[in-house]
Structure 1
C-alpha cells in the first residue's frame, strides 16, 4: 500500500509545480515583451535597427575556414576563372590605387575589383602596413616604397605583411601554379607574380592626400585612383568595439575629428578630379553593398575594365554581395547596434555640418528600422 501512496503524492506534487510554473512563465514572457517594446523609448537603449562593417563583414565570416598558408577554402576557385581582362575605351591606365581610412571599406572594394583577374592584375593588399619606421631623412617615405612595388622592384618583399599578401588572388595563383612546385622563395615569388601581369593594383590606408597627388603627378594617365568613403558612425563603431566604451564628450570629440578628416580628404579628391580628369573616383562603401551590380559596373567602366557576367557573378558570390537585400542592409547598418540613441545623436551633433559634403544623413528623432542614412547611389555625386 505504501508504494501506491508514494506514487499518488508524487503525482500531486508534480501537478502543483506545473500549476505554479505556467503562470509565472507567462508573466515573465509578457514582461520581456513589454521590455522589448520600450527599448526604443529609452534614450540610453541600443539603437536596434540593422547591422554593418566592411572589412570585417560578410567575407570575414566566409574566411573562418582559413587553410594553411593563407589559402581560403570554399568558393575561392571562382577567382581563378580566367577569361582574359579586356580594357574598354581609350584608357591607358596600367596602375590602380584604392585608398580609404582604416576600416573604411577599401578592402572590400579592392577585392571586388581586382581579385577577379588573378592572371592579369597583380594586387597588393595593404603593402605599406609593415614598413619600418622613418628614423632619418635617408629612409624612404611610404610613397617611395609604393613606387618601387608598382614598378615590381620587390626586394622589399620582407616588409610585406604575409597575411595581407595572401589576400591577393594574383599572388595565390602564382604561388600555387609556379612558386610552390619549384620551391621559389617568397620574395622572388612576389616579383614573379608582379612581372607576369599587365596591370598592378594596390589597396592602402597608409598614404596622405599629398602623397596620392605625388603619385598622380608622377604617373599621369597611367594611374587611376578610387577613394572609398564610409559612414563616420561606422568607423567610430568599429574602433570602439575593441576599446572601452567612451564617455559622451570623448565620443563627440572623436566624431568631429573623423568628420573633419573625411571632409578634408573628399575636398582634396574633388580638386584632384579637376586637376587630373578621369583619374580619380570617390566611392561610398554603402553604395557597393546596397547596389553591387550597378556600382561594380560603374567602377569597372571608370577603370577601363571589361568584366563578363560570369566574372561579376563570381565576385558577388565570393564577397557575399549576392545575399538578399535585407541581409546586405544589415551589413551596412551594424553601427546602429553599437551605439545608444543618445550616443548617435552626439555623433550627429558633431558631424551635422559635414554630412552634406560627405553625403550622409543624421538619424531622425523617430527611429525606424527601414531607413538608411546615406545619399542613394543615383543621387550621389561621384
Structure 2
C-alpha cells in the first residue's frame, strides 16, 4: 500500500511542476531576453501560493494617478484648510468648540498610538497626554475596586490619588516626546500623585490613548461629559493589524489565521457600527479615522482632525511633529510602510484573510487583494473618497 501512495504523490508533484514549468519555459521562447525574464518572473510568481503579496512593480499608471490627484485638488476635495493654521504659540481652540477632554481609541496594533502622538504632541505643554493608562488593568481593578471607565474618569478629572498605578512610561509614547513635567515629578523625590495632579491641572486640555475600553464604556464617557469630550476611533487594515501581531508571535496555521481574521473583522465592523450610532447620538463628538489616511496624507488629515477637535495649530509645530514621527518622508516611502503587511503574508495566507473579511471590507472601507496586483496597489479607500 505504501508504494502506490508514494507513486501517486510523486505523479501529483510532477504534475504541479509541469503546470508551472511548461508555461514558464514557453515564455522564454517568446520575444527578447529581457521581456522573457520579466514575463517569466511575473507568470511564475502568480502561480506560487507562497510568494509574497507584492509581486511586480508597475509604473505605467504613474501619470494617470498624478493627473487624478491634480483633479482632486482642483475640485476642492478636503485639501489644506488655511484657516486652521495660526502663528500663535500653543494649541489655539477655534470656533465654538467647548471640548477639553479627548480620547483616542483603537484595537491593539490598530495604529492608535501613532495617531494620538501626531495629534497631541504638536504642543505637549498644552495637553496632559496619557498613553495607555489602562495597560496595567488587572491590578488597578483588584486594588481600587473600580471599573476601568471609573478610573479613567478620575484621570480625566485630574484626581490622581491612585497615581501609584500610573507609571512614568504611560506619560508619553516614546523617546521622541517627553512628558513636560517629568523633570519635576521624580517618584523617589516627591509625592508622585500630588506632583502629577498639579501637572494635570495646569494644562488646559487632557487626552488619553487606550485600547482597553469597550464601546459601551466609551458611550458612558460621552454621556457623562457631553460636549466636553471628543473621541477619535482609529481603524487599521485588518491584514496589517494581523501582520503586526504575528511579528512577535508564532505564525499560525492557515485555518487558525482565517479564524483570527474573521474574529477581528467582525469586531472592527461592530465597533464602527457603534461609532456611527454615536455620531448620530452625539453630533460632532465622534470621528472615525483610518490609520492609512494619516500616513498617506498627513497634512490634509491632521488639518481635518484638528478642525474636528477645534484646534488651530501653527505650521512650524505641525511640521516638527511630522518630522519626528517620520511622516514627512516621501510619499512612496510612506506607502511602503502602509503596505508592509504584503511582505509579511504569502498570497495563500492573505487570500485566507480576505475570505474571512471580504463581506466586511465594504463597511471597513478596505479592498480585497485582486488576482493581478502590483506594488502600486493600495487596498484601502482613498482619503478623498472615504467617509469620516
Q: Taking structure 2 as the reference length, what is the TM-score of the superposition?
A: 0.78
1:219-265 CA distance string (max 9 Å, x none) = 00000000000000011111111222211111111000000000000
Moved more, 131-140 or 27-36: 27-36
Question: What residue number does 2:174 align with?
Answer: 168
Moved more, 183-192 or 371-380: 183-192
Larger Rg: 1
* Matches of 1:304 and 1:355, distance apart in 2: 31
Residue 132 and residue 14 in structure 1: after superposition, are their counterparts in 2 closer, same or farther (change >3 A)?
closer
* Matches of 2:61 and 2:165, distance apart in 1: 22
* Matches of 1:2 and 1:131, distance apart in 2: 56
Contact 2:131 2:208 in 1 (8 A): yes
1:322-375 CA distance string (max 9 Å, x none) = 000111001101111111001100100100000000000000010211010000
Contact 2:87 2:314 in 1 (8 A): no
Contact 2:113 2:173 in 1 (8 A): no
1:71-113 CA distance string (max 9 Å, x none) = 9999999999981221000000000000000010100010101
Q: 3-state SS of the aligned residue for 2:268?
A: helix
1:60 has 2:73 as partner:
no
1:286-325 counterparts in 2 under 5 A? Answer: 286-325=292-331
* Matches of 1:259 and 1:164, distance apart in 2: 29
Contact 1:79 1:118 in 2 (8 A): no
Contact 2:141 2:148 in 1 (8 A): no
* Matches of 1:153 and 1:198, distance apart in 2: 15
Moved over 4 A (4+): 1-38, 49-82, 133-138, 168-171, 180-183
Q: CA deviation at 1:185?
A: 4.3
Q: CA deviation at 1:126?
A: 0.3
Contact 2:84 2:303 in 1 (8 A): no
Q: 3-state SS of the aligned residue for 1:66?
A: helix
Moved more, 167-176 or 23-32: 23-32
Moved more, 337-346 or 42-51: 42-51
Residue 158 and residue 136 in structure 1: after superposition, are their counterparts in 2 closer, same or farther (change >3 A)?
closer
Gaps (5+ residues) in structure 1? Answer: none
CA RMSD of aligned residues (A): 13.5
Residue 18 and residue 133 in structure 1: after superposition, are their counterparts in 2 closer, same or farther (change >3 A)?
closer
Q: CA deviation at 1:136?
A: 7.0
Q: CA deviation at 1:163?
A: 2.3
Q: 3-state SS of the aligned residue for 2:103?
A: strand
Residue 321 and residue 149 in structure 1: after superposition, are their counterparts in 2 closer, same or farther (change >3 A)?
same
Q: CA deviation at 1:198?
A: 0.6
Question: What residue number does 2:118 align with?
Answer: 112
1:82 has 2:88 as partner:
yes
Corresponding pairs, count: 382
Residue 185 and residue 349 in structure 1: after superposition, are their counterparts in 2 closer, same or farther (change >3 A)?
same
Residue 30 and residue 316 in structure 1: after superposition, are their counterparts in 2 closer, same or farther (change >3 A)?
farther
Residue 361 and residue 60 in structure 1: after superposition, are their counterparts in 2 closer, same or farther (change >3 A)?
closer
* Matches of 1:70 and 1:186, distance apart in 2: 50
Residue 182 and residue 71 in structure 1: after superposition, are their counterparts in 2 closer, same or farther (change >3 A)?
farther
Contact 1:49 1:337 in 2 (8 A): no
Residue 325 and residue 254 in structure 1: after superposition, are their counterparts in 2 closer, same or farther (change >3 A)?
same
* Matches of 2:339 and 2:125, distance apart in 1: 35
Gaps (5+ residues) in structure 2? Answer: 39-44
Question: What residue number does 2:213 align with?
Answer: 207
Q: CA deviation at 1:131?
A: 2.7
Q: CA deviation at 1:179?
A: 3.9
Q: CA deviation at 1:70?
A: 43
Q: CA deviation at 1:189?
A: 2.9
Q: 3-state SS of the aligned residue for 2:104?
A: strand
Residue 136 and residue 212 in structure 1: after superposition, are their counterparts in 2 closer, same or farther (change >3 A)?
same
Residue 315 and residue 72 in structure 1: after superposition, are their counterparts in 2 closer, same or farther (change >3 A)?
farther
* Matches of 2:266 and 2:339, distance apart in 1: 22
1:264-304 CA distance string (max 9 Å, x none) = 00000000000000000000000000000000000000000
Q: CA deviation at 1:164?
A: 2.9
Contact 1:117 1:170 in 2 (8 A): no
Residue 7 and residue 289 in structure 1: after superposition, are their counterparts in 2 closer, same or farther (change >3 A)?
closer
Moved more, 349-358 or 240-249: 240-249
Q: CA deviation at 1:147?
A: 0.2
Residue 34 and residue 231 in structure 1: after superposition, are their counterparts in 2 closer, same or farther (change >3 A)?
farther
Contact 2:78 2:384 in 1 (8 A): no
Moved more, 185-194 or 276-285: 185-194
Contact 1:59 1:320 in 2 (8 A): no
* Matches of 2:15 and 2:258, distance apart in 1: 58
Question: What residue number does 2:145 align with?
Answer: 139
Contact 1:122 1:171 in 2 (8 A): no
